[in-house]
Structure 1
Amino acid sequence: MIKLKIKKGDNVKVITGDDKGKTGNVIKVFPESRKVLVKGINEKKKHQKPTREKKGGIITVERPIDISNVVKLSDAKVEKKVEKKEETKKTVKEEKSKKKSKK
């Protein structure tokens, strides 16, 4: 069994993907596939057929995220590194846009 640093109940921040920058609590960890299920993150729509017990319709389902795409928020050092990296990306984009506008 693979040992992971992120556990159920941890507060995490998504660092890449469609939900980049969002935070949430870990509901479940899948160590074999190295994925985590985070509440309110990576929600997808699913069309469900009606059955005897359940009504049909469109429901939202949370999908697992790869563990490399999230960072544990209680780690202050890691959080600062992520914020610093995001700031440098913004400044690089601004500098590139300024160079293009000067031409």
Structure 2
Amino acid sequence: MPVTTIGTAEVHVDAEGFLTEYDEWNEEVGRQLAAAIGIELTEAHWKPIRFLREDFVQHGETATLRRVSTVAGVPIKELFALFPKKPAKKMAYIAGLPKPRGCV
């Protein structure tokens, strides 16, 4: 896997730029990834991102948009407002996780 520098951290990424090593992520890396796609993180952004990180450890895959909405309690409409156009893909990217299944 290719290695790239995000902020001051060297991380492993796939061909699309998604982190491939769970432990290389931290909130500063998340802020840098968000800034790279034009998102300034607020506390409202961190709730689904932290949920994704915790859920990934338990289930071994990135949660879908529907799961974030139902289990984390963040309405889908709000997720689209926080992460415009492709919220599941953007949340996974910022959270340092693989793209959810079904994302193009």
The normalised TM-score by structure 2 is 0.24
Q: Flag the structure with larger Rg.
A: 1
Higher strand share: 1
Give the structure, 1 or 2, with the largest relative contact order (CA under 8 Å, sep 6 or more). 2
